[in-house]
Structure 1
Amino acid sequence: MFDAIASFWQLHAPVLSVLLPAFTAVGMLLLGDPSGLAEQGGGHGSARVRWRRNLAMASVLLGLFMAVQLVQRAAGGELLVYQLGEWPAPFGIVLVLDRLSALMVLLTYAVAVPALWYATGGWDMRGRHFHALFQFQLMGLCGAFLTGDLFNLFVFFEVLLIASYALLLHGQGRERFRMGVHYVVLNLTASGLFLIGLAMVYAVTGTLNMADVALRLGGLTGDAALIARAAALVLLAVFGLKAALVPLYFWLPATYAAASAPVAALFAIMTKVGVYSIIRVHWVVFGPQAGEAALAAQGWLLPLALTTSVLGVLGALAAHSMGRMVAYLTVSSVGTILAGVGLFTPATLSAALYYTLHSTVVIAGLFLLVELMASQRGEALDRLRPAVAVREPVLLGLMMIFGAASVAGLPPLPGFLGKLMVLESASGLPAQAWVWSVVLVVGFLSIVGLARAGVIVFWHVETHEAVGAASGSSVKLLSAVWAFMLVTVAMAVLASPVKRYTDAAAAQLADQAAYVRAVLGPDAASQPTTRPYDGAVPAPTPKEHP
């Protein structure tokens, strides 16, 4: 029996990573809405709530186990192409498992498990269908990381965005609703631009399969090549909005600050979907082999990324609440990641991938920690002004010091290692001075901003008021933050094998020909499987008469 299960898993691993959260979400919907059952008190209602929570946690833990298996399988270097319905690419839908996609799926579940565990402490009962929406979000994330088709990237984007719309409003509140409207409008606009970009790509290549588009771009000339370059820049704008790249970052700080803590923690991976899409499209599809459309984003990405990093940390310095401060640090971290991506060398991309792992985990943990501190500060909540003393100043203070040191990049934590990798990989490149200056200055200003927040929260105490309530100090809620801290420590201890993996992932992404052969077959490089549309109307086929 175990052999049969192992064989089934080996054969269908990519699609099962998408179907697991999808089936779990559908099952949650069929079982009904659990919200409000906890307030019914003991007996049947409480048992049903616990049962649903256990089912949700079992699903994400199984997903985490599956993600680890995907990484182990991808580490060998072989690209696994899964053809849905056994239709060959580019005519059918394919999922492609390589080192990068496997790593991003693992990162998704590494964030999802502690965030969901934190939510089961009470947040999941403050709105309807939390667990179903959470699982749909995971479905969209895993699908976006695994798809080998540009149109299905759009589809999975929409799945995760629709779930995020409802999750953002979870718990209700005027501020969440106000920011939810902005968030929905901006993402609908981006979705429209996404479709325009896809239409432009299809117009000149006749396909949307990533490998097939990459193969066709190299032969484009004249107006077709110009349209392809324009499409690349349109897609950069779309993914830049998702990743919160300047000047399209303004929606993120208020939106993430308004979301509930477990939702904001999960949203820490949302910006990385935009980063992943930039890497996948502009490294694999519009890479150096794309002819006249090659590296269309190169002249734009690095200056925008460095500007994003600087403006993000300045926003954190000026923030009036801890939630906004962490949200701005999210923006700043995206800028550092995309600076490595924008240098367009395998070494800088590898450093950016390592820093992506670190920044996502630390930011997610900080969102949870902020709520723990806010719940003990009385009416001030997370606003950066003097308030009552927190009930657990030593414990929360040490946790904040750890988070601040990680974000700022102090040794020996992985934030320091990630930034050191970025600096070392940029050495000798024309933009070295700019990259070094921005990364070092942003790190220093991050320390200043977090130190300012720590002084206000733990030292500027209104002594005439009582000590803050014990709300939020349960072991269950604290353990979710500890989990993120342990993952951070593990990344520092295992820095060498993780770096070897990211090196191999970057080298694999740079080998566009191997990707094309894996998806389209060994003869694809010499004979494209599709013909680009040239604008001509095909002549009618003569009818045969008996």
Structure 2
Amino acid sequence: MQHLPIFPVLLPLLVAIILLRKREGADPVRRTISITATALLVAIAFWLVSQVADGETLVYRLGNWQAPYGIVLVADRLSAMMVLLTALLALGSVIHASGGEDNQGSNFHGLFHLQLMGINGAFLTGDLFNLFVFFEVLLLASYALLMHGGGKARVQSGLHYVVLNLAGSSLFLIALGVLYGSIGTLNMADMAERVSQLPADRQGLVRAGALLLLVVFGLKAAILPLYFWLPRAYSSAPAPIAALFAIMTKVGIYAIFRVFTLIFGEQAGGLAHLAQPWLWWGGLATLGMATLAVLSARDLRMQISYFMLISIGTLLCGLGMEGTASRGAMLFYMLHTTLINGGLFLLADMIADQRGKVGTRIVRSKKFKYATLLSALYMIGAVSSAGLPPLSGALAKAWLMSTATLSEGLWLWPLLLLSGLAGVVAASRAGSTIFWRHGNGDPAGERLSRGKLVGTVVLLSAAPLLVILAGPIGGYTQATAEQITDTVQYRSAVLGNVTSDTSGASVDAD
């Protein structure tokens, strides 16, 4: 039990080492190891969620060094939920990749698990420097996976992706240096303790470091105007990687949520709620621009990338709103959009296999096999992504809108409803063109890969399942929002029995 928080990091690391050493092994062997390990990761993630569901926070101290001096992994409701979401997304992606996509380049499965290790580590770490380390691990793996299989489009988009993320990493290091020099620690719980007691003459430098972090996390999350890299990179990436990348922007959103609630939350005095206005207006701007952009997409993969940007804008608005109810709705929406957009990327790859040279361009093509099955799957994904009843998108958006105050609703409701309308128009145009407008002749297309179909269905099945299980899942996300707002509990678990005095400054009850 005490070692449970390190399993989601250790398992993919060990599997990555095994798969990278056995590059010459038979494809069925690598695929079996990879799928089995990912399924085991799903089981571990469910176990982790069950252990923290009652509100307990699990702390794992590597080398038994006490915080803030040692490396700590912290599992609470939020981090456990994100690990489970990553594992489910990875399972659908790796099953789909084993249908043939993994053969287009070398070391696919080893790099895939190395990226899982970095993502899970980012969700579980309790230290900002180790957050940087795990960011670099997942980014190094993503650089290679983005260009898996080669091609001019992938190399060009990969280059832009690498350059922007290297710039972001440099800013991240500068921000860490500023914060460490000003506060004297990078352990997030200890930083929260010290920021609440920081003298006024040192708050300016800490504010600068915090806003630098917001820029870095905003780049990862793809907030306007830092989102221009995403559509090109995601639309040109191999389908299983694009699906897995659906969680990458959520790493940035998670980092914003964690850092600016725990360290710069209500207890931070003059530094409280630094990010709130930036997130609200940046989220609205991202939502508005993505709504216009999705109507202009001429390729199915590009359209799905803009669907993802719409969801990012919606998530950022949820973070920028007041109250824990909006945060709970935002987390429920995060579960929905990550799985559905990942499934749509996998589905687009299956459609491209059937259409030959036309690929995913939204133009007329020859008739192709399995059009009925693929169109039904596309309708489920598109309806859910646009937010139409009775699937999970409608439920998530309705919950989020219901939590808005009057002033927030004046901005959020029109934009969110217009984004849904734009999604319906864009998906209707794409679906009618791809599945109905055909030339004469016998149906063409490759035989449908069973692995690709199973991986796609695994992710798209979230649309009805989230509605069926809305009660317990919604209760969990609401409890998660309440737990992360209660920063005393997190600090007590990591540092000891911490309480708050009447002035709002934290004290050690020991």
TM-score range, shorter chain: over 0.9
Secondary structure of residue in 2 paired with 1:81: strand
Aligned position for 1:467 = 443
1: CA distance, partners of 2:222 / 2:42: 27
Secondary structure of residue in 2 paired with 1:160: helix
1: CA distance, partners of 2:297 / 2:407: 34
Q: Contact 1:33–1:129 (CA<8 Å) still a contact in 2?
A: no
Aligned position for 2:503 = none
1:291-310, aligned counterparts within 5 Å?
A: 291-310=269-288
Aligned position for 1:25 = 16
2: CA distance, partners of 1:523 / 1:379: 62
Which amino acid is 1:425 matched to?
T
Among 464, 470, 481, which residue is 2:456 paired with? 481
Q: Contact 2:488–2:498 (CA<8 Å) still a contact in 1?
A: no
Q: Contact 2:325–2:403 (CA<8 Å) still a contact in 1?
A: yes
1:185-200, aligned counterparts within 5 Å?
A: 185-200=163-178
1:318-467, aligned counterparts within 5 Å?
A: 318-426=296-404, 428-463=405-440, 466-467=442-443
- Give the TM-score of the pair, scaled to structure 1: 0.90
2: CA distance, partners of 1:195 / 1:520: 25
Which amino acid is 1:27 matched to?
I
2: CA distance, partners of 1:348 / 1:33: 50
Which amino acid is 1:506 matched to?
A
2: CA distance, partners of 1:155 / 1:503: 30
Deviations 1:287-336 (A, max 9, x none): 11111111111121101101111211221110111011101111110110
Which amino acid is 1:313 matched to?
T
Q: Contact 2:287–2:314 (CA<8 Å) still a contact in 1?
A: yes
1:238 matched to 2:238? The reply is no
Secondary structure of residue in 1 paired with 2:2: helix
Q: Contact 1:264–1:364 (CA<8 Å) still a contact in 2?
A: yes
2: CA distance, partners of 1:523 / 1:510: 15
1:220 matched to 2:198? The reply is yes
Aligned position for 1:506 = 481
Question: Per-residue deviation at 1:140?
Answer: 0.4
Aligned position for 1:317 = 295
Which amino acid is 1:391 matched to?
K
Aligned position for 1:496 = 471
Question: Per-residue deviation at 1:482?
Answer: 1.2
Question: Per-residue deviation at 1:376?
Answer: 1.5
Deviations 1:491-546 (A, max 9, x none): 110001001001110000110111111110115842599xxxxxxxxxxxxxxxxx
Aligned position for 1:526 = 507
Deviations 1:429-460 (A, max 9, x none): 53221011111111111111111111111222
Deviations 1:249-271 (A, max 9, x none): 00000100110111111111111
2: CA distance, partners of 1:402 / 1:379: 26
Question: Per-residue deviation at 1:125?
Answer: 1.4
Secondary structure of residue in 1 paired with 2:59: strand
Which amino acid is 1:115 matched to?
S
Identify which range, 95-104 or 49-58, moves more after superposition: 49-58
Secondary structure of residue in 2 paired with 1:526: strand
Which amino acid is 2:425 matched to?
V
Identify which range, 293-302 or 143-152, moves more after superposition: 293-302
2: CA distance, partners of 1:236 / 1:59: 34
Aligned position for 1:63 = 41
Q: Percent identity?
A: 45
Aligned position for 1:117 = 95
Q: Contact 1:21–1:59 (CA<8 Å) still a contact in 2?
A: yes
1: CA distance, partners of 2:98 / 2:460: 19
Secondary structure of residue in 2 paired with 1:107: helix
2: CA distance, partners of 1:488 / 1:499: 14
Secondary structure of residue in 1 paired with 2:507: coil
Aligned position for 2:235 = 257
Aligned position for 1:211 = 189
Pick closer, same or farther for the CA change 1:226–1:370 going to 2, 3 Å: same
Aligned position for 1:534 = none
Q: Contact 2:111–2:141 (CA<8 Å) still a contact in 1?
A: yes
- Give the TM-score of the pair, scaled to structure 2: 0.97
Secondary structure of residue in 2 paired with 1:286: coil
Q: Contact 1:253–1:324 (CA<8 Å) still a contact in 2?
A: yes
Secondary structure of residue in 1 paired with 2:354: coil
Deviations 1:83-106 (A, max 9, x none): 000000000010000000000000
Aligned position for 1:16 = 7
Deviations 1:232-263 (A, max 9, x none): 21111111111111000000001001101111
Pick closer, same or farther for the CA change 1:393–1:164 going to 2, 3 Å: same
Among 103, 107, 123, which residue is 2:85 paired with? 107
1: CA distance, partners of 2:444 / 2:164: 38
2: CA distance, partners of 1:313 / 1:365: 20
Aligned position for 1:536 = none
Aligned position for 1:97 = 75
Aligned position for 1:86 = 64
Deviations 1:399-418 (A, max 9, x none): 11111110011112111110
Aligned position for 1:73 = 51
Which amino acid is 1:75 matched to?
A
2: CA distance, partners of 1:283 / 1:195: 21
Aligned position for 1:156 = 134
Secondary structure of residue in 1 paired with 2:73: strand
Question: Per-residue deviation at 1:466?
Answer: 4.7
Q: Which blocks of at least 5 consecutive residues in structure 2 are unaligned?
A: 500-505
Q: Contact 2:491–2:498 (CA<8 Å) still a contact in 1?
A: no
Secondary structure of residue in 2 paired with 1:295: coil
Q: Contact 1:143–1:153 (CA<8 Å) still a contact in 2?
A: yes
Question: Per-residue deviation at 1:200?
Answer: 1.5
Q: Contact 1:33–1:128 (CA<8 Å) still a contact in 2?
A: no
Q: Contact 1:221–1:292 (CA<8 Å) still a contact in 2?
A: no
Question: Per-residue deviation at 1:462?
Answer: 2.4
Q: Contact 2:99–2:450 (CA<8 Å) still a contact in 1?
A: no
1: CA distance, partners of 2:162 / 2:351: 29
Which amino acid is 1:51 matched to?
V
2: CA distance, partners of 1:481 / 1:527: 50
Q: Contact 2:279–2:320 (CA<8 Å) still a contact in 1?
A: yes
Q: Contact 1:140–1:159 (CA<8 Å) still a contact in 2?
A: yes
2: CA distance, partners of 1:184 / 1:146: 25
Q: Contact 2:92–2:455 (CA<8 Å) still a contact in 1?
A: yes
